[in-house]
A and B are shown apart, each in its own frame.
Chain A
Amino acid sequence: AQSVTQPDIHITVSEGASLELRCNYSYGATPYLFWYVQSPGQGLQLLLKYFSGDTLVQGIKGFEAEFKRSQSSFNLRKPSVHWSDAAEYFCAVDPLNYGGSQGNLIFGKGTKLSVKP
Protein backbone atom coordinates (compact mmCIF):
# COMPACT_ATOMS: atom_id res chain seq x y z
CA ALA A 1 0.00 0.00 0.00
CA GLN A 2 1.12 3.54 -0.66
CA SER A 3 2.41 5.13 2.52
CA VAL A 4 4.61 7.79 4.05
CA THR A 5 6.53 6.90 7.19
CA GLN A 6 8.04 9.24 9.71
CA PRO A 7 9.61 6.82 12.17
CA ASP A 8 10.24 9.33 14.94
CA ILE A 9 7.14 10.54 16.76
CA HIS A 10 9.02 12.91 19.07
CA ILE A 11 12.58 14.24 18.97
CA THR A 12 14.29 16.50 21.49
CA VAL A 13 17.46 18.38 20.55
CA SER A 14 19.47 21.07 22.26
CA GLU A 15 19.48 24.56 20.84
CA GLY A 16 22.40 24.89 18.45
CA ALA A 17 22.59 21.16 17.75
CA SER A 18 22.03 19.67 14.33
CA LEU A 19 18.76 18.05 13.34
CA GLU A 20 17.69 15.31 10.97
CA LEU A 21 14.07 14.21 10.60
CA ARG A 22 13.46 11.03 8.65
CA CYS A 23 10.87 10.36 5.99
CA ASN A 24 10.40 7.25 3.88
CA TYR A 25 7.77 6.60 1.26
CA SER A 26 6.57 3.56 -0.59
CA TYR A 27 5.42 4.26 -4.13
CA GLY A 28 6.22 2.74 -7.48
CA ALA A 29 7.46 5.88 -9.17
CA THR A 30 9.20 8.96 -7.82
CA PRO A 31 6.50 11.14 -6.32
CA TYR A 32 6.65 14.83 -5.57
CA LEU A 33 7.91 15.38 -2.03
CA PHE A 34 7.26 18.10 0.52
CA TRP A 35 8.07 19.07 4.09
CA TYR A 36 5.62 21.20 6.04
CA VAL A 37 5.81 22.59 9.58
CA GLN A 38 2.90 23.17 11.93
CA SER A 39 2.98 25.22 15.12
CA PRO A 40 0.37 24.39 17.77
CA GLY A 41 -3.13 25.28 16.64
CA GLN A 42 -1.89 26.62 13.32
CA GLY A 43 -2.01 25.60 9.69
CA LEU A 44 0.84 24.11 7.69
CA GLN A 45 3.74 26.15 6.38
CA LEU A 46 5.74 24.85 3.43
CA LEU A 47 9.43 24.41 4.22
CA LEU A 48 10.63 22.95 0.93
CA LYS A 49 9.69 20.71 -1.97
CA TYR A 50 11.24 18.34 -4.49
CA PHE A 51 9.81 17.82 -7.96
CA SER A 52 12.89 16.86 -9.97
CA GLY A 53 16.51 17.79 -10.60
CA ASP A 54 19.07 18.42 -7.89
CA THR A 55 18.41 15.95 -5.10
CA LEU A 56 19.54 18.39 -2.37
CA VAL A 57 16.82 20.96 -1.86
CA GLN A 58 17.14 24.20 0.10
CA GLY A 59 14.16 25.59 1.94
CA ILE A 60 13.17 28.40 4.24
CA LYS A 61 14.46 28.94 7.79
CA GLY A 62 17.77 27.23 7.01
CA PHE A 63 16.28 23.80 6.32
CA GLU A 64 17.39 21.46 3.57
CA ALA A 65 16.33 17.99 2.47
CA GLU A 66 17.94 15.29 0.38
CA PHE A 67 16.05 12.94 -1.92
CA LYS A 68 17.58 9.47 -2.10
CA ARG A 69 15.83 7.36 -4.69
CA SER A 70 17.61 4.13 -3.71
CA GLN A 71 16.39 4.49 -0.13
CA SER A 72 12.98 6.01 -0.96
CA SER A 73 13.81 8.71 1.56
CA PHE A 74 13.49 12.47 1.84
CA ASN A 75 15.12 13.45 5.13
CA LEU A 76 14.97 16.98 6.49
CA ARG A 77 18.07 18.56 8.01
CA LYS A 78 19.14 21.72 9.76
CA PRO A 79 22.71 22.36 10.92
CA SER A 80 21.84 24.44 14.00
CA VAL A 81 18.42 24.37 15.63
CA HIS A 82 16.83 27.47 17.17
CA TRP A 83 14.25 27.44 19.96
CA SER A 84 11.69 28.81 17.50
CA ASP A 85 11.99 25.61 15.44
CA ALA A 86 9.99 23.71 18.06
CA ALA A 87 6.90 22.52 16.18
CA GLU A 88 5.52 19.47 14.40
CA TYR A 89 7.00 18.53 11.06
CA PHE A 90 5.15 16.66 8.34
CA CYS A 91 6.54 14.92 5.31
CA ALA A 92 4.08 14.75 2.42
CA VAL A 93 3.99 13.02 -0.92
CA ASP A 94 2.00 13.65 -4.07
CA PRO A 95 1.88 10.11 -5.44
CA LEU A 96 1.19 11.23 -9.02
CA ASN A 97 -1.19 8.36 -9.65
CA TYR A 98 -2.08 7.81 -13.31
CA GLY A 99 0.90 9.96 -14.31
CA GLY A 100 -0.43 13.18 -12.85
CA SER A 101 -1.44 14.79 -9.62
CA GLN A 102 -4.83 13.88 -8.22
CA GLY A 103 -4.55 16.66 -5.65
CA ASN A 104 -4.29 14.26 -2.75
CA LEU A 105 -1.18 14.78 -0.69
CA ILE A 106 -0.36 11.79 1.51
CA PHE A 107 1.05 12.88 4.85
CA GLY A 108 3.22 11.11 7.37
CA LYS A 109 2.06 11.05 10.97
CA GLY A 110 4.43 13.87 11.86
CA THR A 111 7.45 14.33 14.10
CA LYS A 112 7.16 16.65 17.06
CA LEU A 113 10.36 18.58 17.70
CA SER A 114 11.19 19.91 21.14
CA VAL A 115 14.19 22.18 21.65
CA LYS A 116 16.10 22.29 24.93
CA PRO A 117 17.72 25.58 25.93
Chain B
Amino acid sequence: EAGVTQSPTHLIKTRGQQATLRCSPISGHTSVYWYQQALGLGLQFLLWYDEGEERNRGNFPPRFSGRQFPNYSSELNVNALELEDSALYLCASSLGGRQGVWTDTQYFGPGTRLTVL
Protein backbone atom coordinates (compact mmCIF):
# COMPACT_ATOMS: atom_id res chain seq x y z
CA GLU B 1 0.00 0.00 0.00
CA ALA B 2 1.41 3.36 -1.01
CA GLY B 3 2.08 5.83 1.76
CA VAL B 4 1.63 9.57 1.81
CA THR B 5 3.39 11.17 -1.14
CA GLN B 6 4.58 14.75 -1.46
CA SER B 7 5.91 16.82 -4.33
CA PRO B 8 8.26 18.33 -5.09
CA THR B 9 11.03 16.90 -2.93
CA HIS B 10 12.91 20.18 -2.98
CA LEU B 11 11.78 23.67 -3.87
CA ILE B 12 13.94 26.76 -4.11
CA LYS B 13 12.29 30.18 -4.24
CA THR B 14 13.29 33.76 -3.68
CA ARG B 15 11.84 36.11 -1.11
CA GLY B 16 8.45 37.50 -2.11
CA GLN B 17 7.58 34.62 -4.45
CA GLN B 18 4.83 32.06 -3.95
CA ALA B 19 5.37 28.36 -3.28
CA THR B 20 2.94 25.51 -3.91
CA LEU B 21 3.43 22.16 -2.23
CA ARG B 22 1.36 19.07 -2.97
CA CYS B 23 0.32 16.03 -0.98
CA SER B 24 -1.50 12.80 -1.80
CA PRO B 25 -2.89 10.91 1.19
CA ILE B 26 -2.94 7.18 1.80
CA SER B 27 -5.73 5.56 -0.17
CA GLY B 28 -8.91 5.61 1.91
CA HIS B 29 -7.80 8.50 4.10
CA THR B 30 -9.85 11.67 3.92
CA SER B 31 -8.04 13.90 6.42
CA VAL B 32 -4.85 15.74 5.47
CA TYR B 33 -2.61 17.70 7.82
CA TRP B 34 0.30 20.06 7.17
CA TYR B 35 3.21 20.71 9.52
CA GLN B 36 6.27 22.93 9.32
CA GLN B 37 9.62 21.69 10.65
CA ALA B 38 11.93 24.66 10.81
CA LEU B 39 15.40 24.62 12.29
CA GLY B 40 15.25 25.60 15.92
CA LEU B 41 11.45 25.73 16.03
CA GLY B 42 10.60 22.07 15.84
CA LEU B 43 7.45 20.61 14.34
CA GLN B 44 4.51 22.97 14.26
CA PHE B 45 0.95 22.28 13.13
CA LEU B 46 -0.20 24.35 10.16
CA LEU B 47 -3.53 23.12 8.79
CA TRP B 48 -6.04 20.28 8.89
CA TYR B 49 -8.39 19.49 6.01
CA ASP B 50 -11.16 16.94 5.96
CA GLU B 51 -13.80 16.42 3.29
CA GLY B 52 -12.61 19.51 1.50
CA GLU B 53 -13.06 21.77 4.50
CA GLU B 54 -10.46 23.48 6.65
CA ARG B 55 -11.05 22.04 10.13
CA ASN B 56 -8.32 23.71 12.11
CA ARG B 57 -5.45 26.09 11.64
CA GLY B 58 -2.26 26.61 13.60
CA ASN B 59 -0.70 29.89 14.63
CA PHE B 60 0.55 30.95 11.20
CA PRO B 61 -0.16 34.10 9.18
CA PRO B 62 -2.85 34.10 6.46
CA ARG B 63 -0.25 33.92 3.71
CA PHE B 64 -0.11 30.22 4.56
CA SER B 65 -3.18 28.70 2.96
CA GLY B 66 -4.26 25.52 1.33
CA ARG B 67 -7.06 23.46 -0.03
CA GLN B 68 -8.21 19.91 -0.37
CA PHE B 69 -9.46 18.50 -3.63
CA PRO B 70 -12.35 16.06 -4.22
CA ASN B 71 -9.85 13.19 -4.47
CA TYR B 72 -8.60 14.20 -0.98
CA SER B 73 -5.20 15.36 -2.20
CA SER B 74 -4.11 18.70 -0.85
CA GLU B 75 -2.11 21.74 -1.73
CA LEU B 76 -0.28 24.12 0.59
CA ASN B 77 0.36 27.62 -0.70
CA VAL B 78 2.77 30.04 0.87
CA ASN B 79 2.54 33.59 -0.47
CA ALA B 80 5.01 36.43 -0.12
CA LEU B 81 7.78 34.08 0.95
CA GLU B 82 10.08 35.17 3.73
CA LEU B 83 13.52 33.80 4.59
CA GLU B 84 12.16 32.22 7.77
CA ASP B 85 9.73 30.12 5.73
CA SER B 86 12.68 27.90 4.83
CA ALA B 87 11.80 24.54 6.37
CA LEU B 88 10.76 20.96 5.78
CA TYR B 89 7.01 20.85 5.18
CA LEU B 90 5.43 17.59 6.18
CA CYS B 91 2.05 16.32 5.13
CA ALA B 92 0.18 13.63 7.03
CA SER B 93 -3.06 11.79 6.45
CA SER B 94 -5.52 9.82 8.53
CA LEU B 95 -8.98 8.38 8.46
CA GLY B 96 -11.47 11.18 8.83
CA GLY B 97 -15.09 12.17 9.07
CA ARG B 98 -16.28 10.07 6.15
CA GLN B 99 -15.18 6.99 8.08
CA GLY B 100 -16.76 8.34 11.25
CA VAL B 101 -13.33 8.80 12.76
CA TRP B 102 -12.37 12.14 14.21
CA THR B 103 -9.40 11.02 16.23
CA ASP B 104 -6.93 8.82 14.47
CA THR B 105 -3.27 8.21 13.83
CA GLN B 106 -1.53 10.56 11.46
CA TYR B 107 0.82 8.99 8.92
CA PHE B 108 3.47 11.25 7.48
CA GLY B 109 4.98 11.70 4.06
CA PRO B 110 8.66 12.32 3.27
CA GLY B 111 8.28 16.09 3.18
CA THR B 112 9.12 18.95 0.84
CA ARG B 113 12.25 20.93 1.62
CA LEU B 114 11.53 24.61 0.87
CA THR B 115 14.48 26.95 0.65
CA VAL B 116 13.87 30.69 0.40
CA LEU B 117 16.80 32.77 -0.84
Contact of B17 with A by CB under 8 A? no
Contact of B111 with A by CB under 8 A? yes
Taking the nearest CB of chain A, how far is it from the CB of B59, in angstroms?
Answer: 10
Which A residue sits closest to B42, measured CB to CB?
A109
In the assembled complex, which residues on chain B have CB atoms less than 8 Å from the CB atom of A43? 4, 6, 90, 108-111
Q: Which of B56, B90, B111 contacts A103 (CB 8 A)?
A: B56
Taking the nearest CB of chain A, how far is it from the CB of B3, in angstroms?
Answer: 9
Q: How many A-B residue pairs have C-beta atoms within 8 angstroms? Tell me.
A: 57
Which B residue sits closest to A32, measured CB to CB?
B103
What 1/0 mask marks residues of chain B from 75 to 107 whose CB sits below 8 Å from any chain A CB? 000000000000000101000000000111111
Contact A34 B42 (CB under 8 A): no
* Chain B residues close to A by CB (< 8 Å): 4, 6, 31, 33, 35, 42-45, 48, 50, 55-56, 58, 90, 92, 102-111, 113
A-B contact pairs, 15 of them (CB 8 A): A41-B113, A42-B111, A44-B90, A46-B105, A46-B107, A51-B103, A94-B103, A103-B48, A103-B50, A103-B56, A104-B56, A105-B33, A105-B35, A106-B45, A109-B42
